[in-house]
Amino acid sequence: AGVSTSKFDGEQMKRLYGIIEAVASLKRQELTNNALRKIYTVQRKNMHFAWGGSLKRGEAHYFRIQGPDFLIEYANTQNDANHAHLVWRDLKNDFGRDLLRKHYAENHKEK
């Protein structure tokens, strides 16, 4: 679950946005523009931040930022915290969904 961003003050939100923007900068801009716009407007008070592990360099740690439509996870737990994994998931358009079937159902209905 983590801490709700509705409890964050201005400085905490600024730091959280800094993390989100750093992650977004790793993706193609056309993929992140709409997601960032939604995060800054609709989702900003409906997110949660969770941390696990150490605050010391070289020790295992993990964080998660989750909103209604997205999930960012960062895990650096192997090889003395020298092997990081980072994932940004779009929970409304995620793997395992048949997007083509959904498109046909919504846009090409039988008459």
**pLDDT tens digit string along 54-89?**
999 999 999 999 998 899 999 998 888 988 999 998
Number of structural domains the chain divides into: 1
pLDDT digits (tens, 9 = 90+) for 3-58: 999 999 999 999 999 999 999 999 888 878 888 888 888 777 789 999 999 999 99
Beta-carbon-side half-sphere exposure of residue 42 (alpha carbons within 13 Å): 9
Model pTM above 0.85: no
Structural domain containing residue 98: 3-107
Q: Taking a C-beta distance cutoff of 8 angstroms, is the pair 63, 98 a contact?
A: no
4: tokens are: 């709700």
Q: Which of 69, 71, 27 is CA-nearest to residue 49?
A: 71
Mean per-residue pLDDT for 84-96? Answer: 82
CA distances from 79 to 31, 54, 58, 83, 84 (A): 32, 14, 9, 6, 9
